[in-house]
Amino acid sequence: MARIYRDPQGVPHVRGTSVLDVAHGQGEVTARDRAWQLEHLRRRAAGSCAEVLGEPALAWDRLARRTRIEATARRAHEALDDESRAFVAAYVGGVNDGLHADAPELVRLGIAPAPWEPWTPLAVFLAQHLLFAGLAGKLWEHRARALLGDDAALLSHEGPLTPGSNAWVVGGARTASGRPLVAGDPHRVLESPGVYQQVRLACEDPDDPFDVVGFAFPGVPGVQHFAHAGEVAWAITNASADYQDVYAERLRRVGERTEALGPDGWEPAEAWTESVPVRGRAEAASVEVVVTARGPLFEGSVAAGTGLSLRAASDVLGDLGLAALLPLLRARSVADVDAALDHWVEPVNNVVVADRAGAVRYRIAGRVPVRAEANRHGIVDAADPGGAWTGWLTDVPRHDVADDDAVVTANERRGPESEPIGVAFAPPHRADRLHALLDGRDDLVPADFAAFHRDTLHLPAAAQQRLVAGLAVSGPAAAVQALVVGFDGRMEASSAAAAAYAAWRNAFVRRIAAAPVFAGFAQPHGHDPAFAPSLDLTGRIGLGLETLVARGTPYGLDLAGLAAAALDDAVGHAATWGETHVFAPLHGFDLAADDLVAPAVPATALDGDLDCVRCAGSLPGVTDACYRGSVARYVWDLDDRQAGGWVVPMGAAGDPRDPHHLDQHAAWAAGELAPIVTDWDRLTAE
């Protein structure tokens, strides 16, 4: 059996005599550290959250059932090679051996965690990434065009509501040690417990040795996205790829059969009803599941005769790409990691990888379908033959990086090579800022990369300050104007000017959203509540404010007048940015019945904001709270693994009673890293 060691932060180091021992140990220690989180993730994947969390969780359960997360996971599990399937099975065995019912949330709910099925890790992984691609964005674009016609393009902007990340790598000629450095931080909705688990996995089998430190999704074996294997290290960012399509379906019943209208006429479809127990309800909710030749319906019904179906790479292929997990653990070189990621399906990622020999490479990993341009921009007719997928993109970006060069990837549009990958990318600001920080440096050390993580310069502020500088205002509004115009662009928690800028920005966004031209958005959007955040007009304008300001008078709006009125609205704003910009992670109980209260976390004031390298994202016009941002940070040093560092927002343990539940939080909030400890004699054996 595997032996478990802990470092001073409580991070588990799993040491086994075989790869299956390691997998079992990882599963067992994850269950011990994250019992409630694993039960919640299992229920999210199965669509059974409402059974314990009540009515507010039903929207997700409905979406999970309709999109058939578990069914796709079962198919992907069956498609795994024998060794990978055994690896997952050993992990599941460890989870089931380690599950316990005394986590505070489980006690509050009065439930014991259910045993995991062989495919549950794959279902958990798929559920984490269902909304990572274009689905919600296509619903938004379709709605915007319906209400604004061709003018909808003015609301288009780089920066979708999908998660992002920073990752960068420099060759050895740019570092003090002469060996490459890799760093980055994934940006997601902040969750409690944290979405990533720091872990070390070490196999002592002389025929199959490996020793890897990295980040895992709780509930998924191995290390999926960010890791240092001693000889090689890698990192990813979301490639903002488009690998999901939405089809408008027409449905009918013919006797006992269900049919959908496809390109060749009416064709068979599957339909059945599932019951979803709901806490507080006497009767279970009914969810109709319909599957057409395009994919499962996520909205609509046979009775209505219409619906929207989702076609996704994972469903079409019956594969999630997790055959890459074992090859990644065994990787010793850039070429090994590159070959392992040839298995990858989704989410589609930018990958940077470097090894001790000095090789550095960038690539796209994942599967992107080839289809008509119309598919990439909204909802397409299921009966249109032109909407079919015709293959997979094969000529994906991949190139080696010179020893004296660097690669930055921050979800930005990377020139013409990005065109076949996706349609909506992040603004260039984080990437531009990282390039500026790296420019001219040939003496880089891990501490420099850690400092780059802390950079708070908010590049979009400059254009908005120019607008404010030209306004004629007086009285208290003039004082706000002076603070905004004098703002140095750094979103520091202690900054009064940053607070004034944010308060004015919030008010400006809300005034734009209230303009009569957007009145149609006040009507119900008709989509499932699970998509509400992505369809919110105010949030969309907040994200696209920079684009709107650059257009001068979009939609005939008097932006100068609205900006001036927003200065009046901002009078009396918070004294500092950190007064309102605080850590606000999402717990499962936050989307539950009112009597379920999430364990308390510190509402820590945070530096940074959306579009800063120090990503601590608010949503202008909606909330100043940091609801998404860096869910992990790391620096991988190919010269000395222990010279790097890593950190997560809260801590290694998911149990609020554990001393390691929050012991990394202060370091994370300050932009610092915890040490990576790999010397076994410096660890504590359990």
Mean pLDDT of 59-69: 97
> If pLDDT is split at 50, 70 and 90, which confidence band does 436 have?
very high
For residue 268, what pLDDT band results from cuts at 50, 70 and 90? very high
- Record the tokens describing residue 542, joined without a space: 């907040």
Pairing of β 181-189 and β 633-637: antiparallel
Q: 682 pLDDT exceeds 90?
A: yes
Query: Would the annotation count 242 as a binding residue?
Result: yes
pLDDT tens by residue, 638-680: 999 999 999 999 999 999 999 999 999 999 999 999 999 999 9
204-218, 439-453, 531-545: the lowest-pLDDT one: 531-545
User: pLDDT value at position 528?
Assistant: 87
Mean pLDDT (the chain, rounded): 95
Whether pLDDT at 151 is above 80? no
pLDDT tens digits for range 288-310: 999 999 999 999 999 999 999 99
In the numeric block, which tokens belong to residue 284?
């279970």
| pLDDT for residue 160 | 44
Catalytic (active-site) positions: 165
For the stretch 498-516, what's the b/e string if a residue is b when 16 or more beta carbons lie within 10 angstroms of its beta carbon?
bbbbbbbbbbbbbbbbeee
DSSP 54: -
Long-range contacts of 317-321 (CB under 8 A, 24+ apart): 317/345, 317/367, 318/72, 318/75, 318/76, 318/78, 318/79, 319/75, 319/76, 319/79, 319/345, 320/72, 320/73, 320/76, 320/122, 320/125, 320/126, 320/345, 320/346, 321/345, 321/346, 321/365, 321/366, 321/367
Average pLDDT, integer, range 418-428:
92
Higher pLDDT, 323 or 148: 323
Weakest-pLDDT range from 137-146, 244-253, 568-577, 668-677: 137-146
The domain ranges of the chain are 244-316, 457-490+496-575
Question: Is residue 153 very low, low, confident or very high in pLDDT (cuts 50, 70, 90)?
Answer: low
Report which secondary-structure segment, H or E, holds 62. Answer: helix 58-66
One-letter amino acid at 300 equals: G
Q: Which residues does 426 contact at the CB level (< 8 Å), separation at least 6?
A: 158, 159, 160, 164, 240, 410, 411, 412
- pLDDT range class, residue 158, cuts 50, 70, 90: low
Full-model pTM:
0.96
Say which residues have a Cβ less than 8 Å from residue 373's Cβ, sequence separation at least 6: none
Cα–Cα distance between 427 and 647 in angstroms, integer?
26
- Higher pLDDT residue, 200 or 426? 200
Mean pLDDT within 145-173? 77
pLDDT in tens, 506-556: 999 999 999 999 999 999 998 988 888 889 999 999 988 998 898 888 888
Please tell me whether 245 is known to bind a ligand: yes
CATH topology assigned to domain 457-490+496-575: 1.10.1400
pLDDT band at 488 (very low <50, low <70, confident <90, very high): very high
What's the mean pLDDT in 146-161? Answer: 68
- Domain 244-316 belongs to what architecture? Roll (2.30)
Confidence of residue 157 (pLDDT cuts 50, 70, 90): low
Percent of the chain with pLDDT over 90: 91
Question: What pLDDT, on the 0 to 100 scale, is given for residue 156?
Answer: 61
